[in-house]
Copies of this chain bind each other. A is one copy, B any other.
């Protein structure tokens, strides 16, 4: 069972909360117990689970990732010039696995699921795979 979540990002770097879209997939499939794998289909955008309360966390995180992996780098060979986006994607991960119990995502109070755009704005695709059990 695979569901697709289409995403259109608005900025070059952006953390988009997709928790409700993932929840919709679970509801649609009436999954009670199991896991869901949430995967970005791209190499310059990833998935992470992080703070869903203060939006400043997202701002800080995107800026700090860009400090560790600066866009401009005189040694980069990749002609597209977006090596930094690839670094960030492998750092947060192209996918995350989430737990479902009693029909609900098992998340801590402050945890949300984020699509991490690192080379936008673009039209993107996330797939959600459901495993019952």
Contacts and interface: CB of A to CB of B under 8 A. Distances in A.
Interface residues of A, number: 59
User: Which of A42, A48, A129 has its CB near the most chain B CB atoms (within 10 A)?
Assistant: A129
Contacts of A84: 64
B43 A61 contact: no
A97 B99 contact: no
A131 B129 contact: no
Nearest to A128: B99
Contacts of A96: 93-95
Interface in A104-122: 106-108, 110-111
Interface string A60-77: 110111001100010111
A123 B71 CA distance: 35
A57 B73 contact: no
A133 B2 CA distance: 11
Contacts of A75: 60, 63
A42 B110 contact: yes
A127 B83 CA distance: 29
A54 to B, nearest CB: 6
16 contacts: A1-B33, A2-B99, A39-B99, A41-B107, A43-B108, A50-B89, A54-B79, A56-B79, A57-B83, A60-B76, A60-B78, A63-B75, A65-B87, A90-B92, A93-B96, A131-B133
